[in-house]
Amino acid sequence: DTGVSQDPRHKITKRGQNVTFRCDPISEHNRLYWYRQTLGQGPEFLTYFQNEAQLEKSRLLSDRFSAERPKGSFSTLEIQRTEQGDSAMYLCASSFGTDSYEQYFGPGTRLTVT
């Protein structure tokens, strides 16, 4: 399978704990995006990378959230001191080139904060 992969697929954590998610984009895709989706809503943009550079961050990305893409390949999204409001599906997407908006999404990581 050469699509976008995400790990884990599901995560249940207690409020206050830290969690980290991983995304592996389609190989050779230089752009990687993180979105968050809650029930009944469309995905909301969090941040994106071009290679290893983080080029844009949404105001949704509070200081408890951090994302990295250290070698321009896989990316991690960490949420510190989780809150119940962080419960959502976290989607990763990738795209190729600088002019394309066509993004391919991974299956997502469903986070439940209890």
Partner 1 sequence: RKEVEQDPGPFNVPEGATVAFNCTYSNSASQSFFWYRQDCRKEPKLLMSVYSSGNEDGRFTAQLNRASQYISLLIRDSKLSDSATYLCVVTQPMDTGRRALTFGSGTRLQVQP
Identify the CA nearest to 92 among candidates 55, 37, 51, 54: 37
Tell me which residues in 56-95 interact with partner 1 (CB under 8 A): 56, 58, 91, 95
Contact between 1 and partner 1 by CB under 8 A: the answer reads no
3-state secondary structure of 85: helix
Candidate segments 13-21, 63-71, 77-85, 106-114, binder of partner 1 by CB under 8 A:
106-114
Per CB under 8 A, the list member of 1, 2, 42, 85 interacting with partner 1 is: 42
Place of tokens 């893409």: 69
How far CA 12 is from CA of 1, 15, 19, in Å, comes to 26, 10, 9
Strand-strand pairing, 5-7 and 31-37: unpaired
Nearer to partner 1, 18 or 41 (CB): 41
**Binding interface with partner 1 (CB under 8 A):** 31, 33, 35, 40-45, 48, 55-56, 58, 91, 95, 99, 101-108
